[in-house]
Amino acid sequence: MKTAKVCSVTILCVLAATPLYASAEPGWQNRRQNPRYLLLQSMTTAKRYPISAVVIQRLAHVNDAEVEMKMEQDVFGRTRFTVWQPAHLSGLVSLDDGIYWYTYMPKHKRVIKQESPRIAQGNPAYQIYLANENYTWRREKGPDIASCPTVVVVASPKAKELPTRRYYLDSRTCLMLQVERVSSDGTKKVSYETRSLAYLKESPKLPVPGENDPEIQTRVVPTPERVGSPASASERVGFMPIVPETLPFGFIVRSIEIVGPPKDMLIAIRITDGLVTETVYQWKDSTSKRRGPFGSKAGTVAFKGIRMRLVGELPSGPAERILKSFVSRK
């Protein structure tokens, strides 16, 4: 009798819970399938998996130079890269522990220490929100990369001149495995790819390079200094930076920063559309007797005594249009 009672109560409970489970399941699945959610995960939780990988990075700011590296990441999100190729960079170590960013250069027996760039990183959720204003999203099943099943988050720009961006994520962990840019004429550039990957059971130890070696010098490099407004920047650098009220392609000004050595300071205006960050450097034209901070005036424009240059990964057409918005300001 007692057993029958227990059975009936159990059946009733199961029957009551089934619709709840059924109604909850699609919501959960939708979230997991939302490309923006996946991309957000890749920027947050995926940064805590202990991994060891071999990756290739093509550096947009150095003519797409290809660099092959061992990458290690621990549960605290600390990342360490050890360069294998090209030969002249072999042995270079970059460690970002979230507080400091260390770069060990074996040739010079020197460690460059700078505040971690992650401290300047914006809110990932806001970044995705901004990107959502400028891109449409699609989710595709991707090929296996480094033996991992992938999901591809495709971000197509609303401005057709900008490249489409394809992020290949490990479909189980959202770890970013490959990043591609596809320009409007169909040209594809792989800026980051993973050749092999191992998720580790134990978090790897990531020592600071050269920490206990007395022969290695450590040099501290100042961090770009954020300023609140063009006016406060002008007090420091001796000219009023040009900051347009609006920028094309949905870009916004992320920050105004002072960079460079104390005697030759520049203004760096970081602009972003959510997925791309570009920098417009500005300096006093009169100080460019020595061909300026970039060694050449090529690719620069001058306006009201200020010379400027846009640096980043945008194709030349959109880059020129953005730069024009700085000089056409009334």
Q: Minimal distance in Å, beta carbon 10 to other proteins?
A: 28
Q: Minimal distance in Å, beta carbon 115 to other proteins?
A: 4
Should residue 158 be labelled a site residue for other proteins when binding is judged by CB under 8 A? no
Q: Which residues are CB-contacts of 309 (< 8 A; sequence separation ≥ 6)? A: 280, 281, 294, 299, 300, 301, 323
17 or 221: CB nearest other proteins: 221
10 or 132: CB nearest other proteins: 132
Please pick, from the candidates 22, 28, 262, 316, the single residue that binds other proteins as defined by CB under 8 A: 262
Should residue 263 be labelled a site residue for other proteins when binding is judged by CB under 8 A? yes
Q: Minimal distance in Å, beta carbon 83 to other proteins?
A: 7
144 or 225: CB nearest other proteins: 225
Please pick, from the candidates 19, 26, 27, 261, the single residue that binds other proteins as defined by CB under 8 A: 261
Should residue 281 be labelled a site residue for other proteins when binding is judged by CB under 8 A? yes
Residue of 170, 165, 182 lying closest to 143 (CA atoms): 170
Q: Minimal distance in Å, beta carbon 60 to other proteins?
A: 6
- Counting DSSP H helices and E strands in the chain, the numbers are 5, 18
Should residue 270 be labelled a site residue for other proteins when binding is judged by CB under 8 A? yes
230 or 248: CB nearest other proteins: 230
Radius of gyration of the chain (CA): 24
Should residue 50 be labelled a site residue for other proteins when binding is judged by CB under 8 A? no
Please pick, from the candidates 84, 137, 199, 294, the single residue that binds other proteins as defined by CB under 8 A: 294
Beta strands in 48-134 (DSSP E): 51-59, 65-73, 79-85, 93-96, 100-105, 110-115
Residue of 124, 173, 128 lying closest to 148 (CA atoms): 173
Calpha distance 204→161 (Å, rounded): 43
Q: Minimal distance in Å, beta carbon 121 to other proteins?
A: 5
Yes or no: say if 148 and 163 are a contact pair by the CB < 8 Å rule.
no
Should residue 315 be labelled a site residue for other proteins when binding is judged by CB under 8 A? no
Beta strands in 121-224 (DSSP E): 135-145, 148-157, 164-170, 176-182, 188-199, 217-220
Residues 26 to 45 in contact with other proteins, rule: CB under 8 A: 39, 42-43
Beta strands in 261-305 (DSSP E): 266-272, 277-284, 300-303
Please pick, from the candidates 67, 159, 216, 240, the single residue that binds other proteins as defined by CB under 8 A: 67
Please pick, from the candidates 32, 52, 71, 287, the single residue that binds other proteins as defined by CB under 8 A: 71
Calpha distance 11→116 (Å, rounded): 57
Residues 111 to 150 in contact with other proteins, rule: CB under 8 A: 112, 114-123, 127, 131
One symbol per residue from 175 to 204: x for binding other proteins (CB under 8 A), - otherwise; what is it? -x--x-----------xx------------
Residues 218 to 237 in contact with other proteins, rule: CB under 8 A: 219-229, 232-233
Residue of 283, 303, 304 lying closest to 293 (CA atoms): 283
Calpha distance 92→57 (Å, rounded): 14
Work out the angle between the directed axes of helices 2-33 and 35-43 (0-180°, nearest 10). 90
Residues 87 to 116 in contact with other proteins, rule: CB under 8 A: 89, 92, 94, 96, 98-101, 103, 105, 108, 110, 112, 114-116
Should residue 282 be labelled a site residue for other proteins when binding is judged by CB under 8 A? no
Buried b (16+ CB within 10 A) or exposed e, 212-225: eeeebeeeeeeebe
Residue 39 phi, psi dihedral angles, 5° rounding: -65, -40
